[in-house]
A and B are shown apart, each in its own frame.
Chain A
Amino acid sequence: GENVEQHPSTLSVQEGDSAVIKCTYSDSASNYFPWYKQELGKRPQLIIDIRSNVGEKKDQRIAVTLNKTAKHFSLHITETQPEDSAVYFCAAIHTGGFKTIFGAGTRLFVKA
């Protein structure tokens, strides 16, 4: 069945450093890849997304890259700040399907 693997499960960085989270999906028909940030006790919130016809997308300190051939996509956060500390989830959605498959999450700690 469809599966999204996410690594690492925990990531600790120093404030100002970059953080990279990687995901791999199994369903080659997936064509939409959102990333969510979930702070403790709060709802997941979309931070960036990318569609399969685009290789890279950037929004200020956040960027996402997609390699459809390898079925990999990654989240890059530059100049990390303590408020970036949260759990980040990647997800993949199958074109024509109505099911969002989430990764298991990455807990990011940004140390001041």
Chain B
Amino acid sequence: ETGVTQSPTHLIKTRGQQVTLRCSSQSGHNTVSWYQQALGQGPQFIFQYYREEENGRGNFPPRFSGLQFPNYSSELNVNALELDDSALYLCASSPGGTPQETQYFGPGTRLLVL
């Protein structure tokens, strides 16, 4: 198993609420990426952070935001939750600032929006 952890494992929210998901990267990994994986689909890139700065973003609206902290932890925040936000949210960490590196995934947080 990788050294990447996520919390919580499962979460139930209602439409319109806000949620914060947390990720603890492998020690020494300066890059963290977040993905949304809907049931039966591949992970969709949300954004990536390198040394606390966002350096890449996928096709997700601004209500998806993130933070990365110096202690190798990070957060994904989603405001004004919609039913379609129900998915598995994965974070993945890698050592440096280049994209062609092995990414180590966490176990994910399964979010259900009712």
By a beta-carbon cutoff of 8 Å, the part of chain A in contact with chain B is 1, 4, 6, 31-32, 34, 36, 42-46, 49, 51, 89, 91, 93-105
Q: B8 within 8 Å of A by Cβ?
A: no
The answer on a CB contact under 8 Å between A99 and B100 is no
Determine the residue in chain B with the shortest Cβ distance to A103.
Answer: B42
Determine the distance from Cα of A46 to Cα of B4 in the docked complex, in whole angstroms.
Answer: 14
Determine the distance from Cα of A94 to Cα of B48 in the docked complex, in whole angstroms.
Answer: 14
By a beta-carbon cutoff of 8 Å, the part of chain B in contact with chain A is 2, 4, 33, 35, 40-45, 48, 50, 55-59, 90, 99-100, 102-108
- How many CB-defined contacts (below 8 Å) exist between A and B? 67
Given contacts A43-B90, A100-B45, 5 further A-B contacts (CB under 8 A): A43-B2, A89-B42, A98-B50, A99-B45, A102-B44
The answer on a CB contact under 8 Å between B99 and A45 is no
Known: A45-B105, A93-B100. A102 touches B42 (CB 8 A): yes
The answer on a CB contact under 8 Å between A101 and B45 is yes
Contacts of A102 in B (CB 8 A): 35, 42-45
Nearest-neighbour CB distance to chain A for B40, whole angstroms, equals 8
Determine the distance from Cα of A44 to Cα of B55 in the docked complex, in whole angstroms.
Answer: 23
3 closest A-B pairs by CB: A98-B56, A102-B42, A32-B100
A-B contact pairs, 25 of them (CB 8 A): A4-B42, A31-B100, A32-B99, A34-B102, A43-B2, A43-B107, A44-B43, A44-B90, A45-B105, A51-B100, A93-B100, A94-B99, A95-B100, A98-B48, A98-B55, A98-B56, A99-B48, A99-B58, A99-B99, A100-B33, A100-B35, A100-B45, A100-B99, A101-B45, A102-B43
